[in-house]
Amino acid sequence: MSIQKIYWSKQDTPVELHSMLSALADEYPVVCGKSKDGIQVKFIKSKKSGCSAVSTKGNSATVEYGGVSMAARAVGTLLSGLESQESTVFKSLGIMLDCSRNAVMTVQHFKKWLRQLALMGYNQAMLYTEDTYKLPDEPYFGYMRGAYTEDELKAIDTHAASLGIEMIACIQTLGHLEQILRWAPYGGTVRDTAGVMLVDKADTYNLIEKMVAMWGRVFGSRRIHVGMDETHDLGRGRFMDLFGYERGFEIFNRHLDKVAKICKKYKLKPMIWSDMYFRMGNKNMDYYAKDTVIPESVKAKIPKSVELVYWDYYHKDKDFYVDWIRRHRDLGYEPLMGSGVWTWSRLWYDHQLSMDTVKPCIEACLEEKVNELFFTLWGDDGAYCEYDSVLAGLCKAAELAYGCDCDDVVSKKFAAICSGNYKNYVTLGAIQYPCGAENIPGHTLLWDDPLLGINWNNNTTVNPRWADLAVKNYRKMIAALENPGKDNKNADVNHGKLLAEVLIMKLEFRHALLKAYSKKNKKDLKEISQVMMPAMVKALKKALKSFRTQWMRRNKPFGFEVIQLRLNSQIGRYEEIAVRINELLDGTISGIAELDEAVPNVHGGGHWSRFFASGSTIV
């Protein structure tokens, strides 16, 4: 698809759009001057902030816009060769990119993302940083983790502001701090449990004040997300040793009040994830339990300066979202909605689950007139997803937020804004569903140890023929791709295709190994050792090279070592299979113990270190 060139003049364009249009010119054919071979655009400011209209006539176009972000979205519409007349109830539409699960996106690449997000209509962004930022006098913050410096964060904020995008700090000030609390200087001073800070200690609040002060310096926004989610063991560690047992509600509210006061000192308005209030209201600590009861005494102590973020990436029923939005309002707060476009524990953007959850969430937000919505992009278990693939989901989600559910429009916009084939990105999402269901996740096939086969064994208890079905589905998925080798301007579609091919090889290898071993077929075992094993090693090395290419194109180098460790260990394990086969064939051993082990129905979960690398937890 050819992108049409857009011309604008300083005289006919409101000053508030000059920086945005100039920033887009870094990557797109948006030219300041008179039209020669494109469309001359005139921008007219509208009194309606959430509306825009794009109309064309011959070689000229008119854009009526309600704000900078609406004008940027209109430019995306024009680049796509489309017209529009649209509005949205969302005064804030954003993303939250996880930079704490090994992948820290480079400043240059995130700037590219910001330009694409602006053209889609986003006007807010967060970088989720637990410890991946440099903090004065705290050398362990971001140590070997690719931490952002203050200058880098200021550069991001400046570029975002030029595009009409508000950068909001998104950190943690209570839980999810395992990465920093593991270091010795913090163990005896600010650590309650492995990942939770020690409430009521001066050292804790001195550290938090350093965090808040730093973020107050680097971002222009006076809003800050201070986290505090999933602190299940709050007050159950060193806190209990020092102070005895205390109800979680009281500890949480007291801590939040202190953090809110620190934020006020730096003229920042805090928001938190809301789940702990709901979790502590039921015995199972379930965020979504309908029998949750939050005492009136607890509600009364929630600081009024704090905003609550209702996060929900799971429900497929609009009515559930409506119920929980209203429950947040019953607390006396207008919630921000945090939905999820699925990247975590995924090799590629998961289109199916994203749309199954995002659509009803947006419908509920529209019905309930929720003003602020953002989409989280988590990186659980190592951020091995090809993150640029999620731009397809963000493009689709933006269209839904603006009232458009037409894939033809999404496809044209995605091609113009992200230079990608939307159909390919959606097709590769099926790599997560080798058997067409959610109970056998695709990423687990890659990390499964080839000799132990813990995941293989699990899946066999679900469906004895699952591997044959997976191979068939993966081949069908690969065949549906359109010129994958040339679709790499953003995400590398060929990388996704390569991973699917590697998974097919892994499945066929394991199937052949089990069959040959069960029959003690020496000829077939020798074939596996001498032919299939070297081919498998070669394929894994190719996959590792591809992982490296896409990682280094997008991220700082830190964190990639985890993917290298995992795939190189698999290479070693395939070589070990050959050694074991040769020992069996020459009579050194009478059997391969790993293959003789009985198969229980384990089904532990999806993280490499916990379930697929070893039968031991020491990995």
- DSSP string of 226-274, one letter each residue: ------TTTTSSHHHHHH----HHHHHHHHHHHHHHHHHHTT-EEEEE-
> Residue 619: inside a domain, yes or no?
no
Per-residue pLDDT at 604: 58
CB 418 within 8 A of CB 408: no
Looking only at the bridges linking them, the beta strands covering 92-98 and 60-65 are unpaired
Domain end: 41, 56, 87, which one? 87
- The domain total for the chain is 3
Domain end: 33, 59, 87, which one? 87
DSSP strand E in 335-406: where?
A: 336-340, 372-377
CB 386 within 8 A of CB 496: yes
Mark whether 454 and 570 lie in a shared domain: yes
Mark whether 433 and 549 lie in a shared domain: yes
Per-residue pLDDT at 601: 65
Give pLDDT < 70 ranges for the chain: 1-2, 600-606, 610-611, 616-619
Mark whether 291 and 434 lie in a shared domain: no
Per-residue pLDDT at 97: 98
CB 52 within 8 A of CB 65: yes
In angstroms, the CA 203 to CA 289 distance is 35
Quickly list DSSP for 501-537.
Answer: HHHHHHHHHHHHHHHHHHHT-HHHHHHIIIIIHHHHH
In angstroms, the CA 449 to CA 460 distance is 15
Identify the three-state secondary structure at position 343. Answer: coil
> Residue 127: inside a domain, yes or no?
yes
pTM: 0.97
Per-residue pLDDT at 60: 95
Per-residue pLDDT at 437: 83
CB 158 within 8 A of CB 23: no
Six-digit token pair at 482?
């359109």
Per-residue pLDDT at 484: 94
Q: Taking Cα atoms as reference points, which of 178, 160, 262, 180 lies closest to residue 214?
A: 262
CATH of the domain at 223: 3.20.20.80
Q: Which domain, by its residues, includes 538?
A: 429-612
Mark whether 38 and 183 lie in a shared domain: no
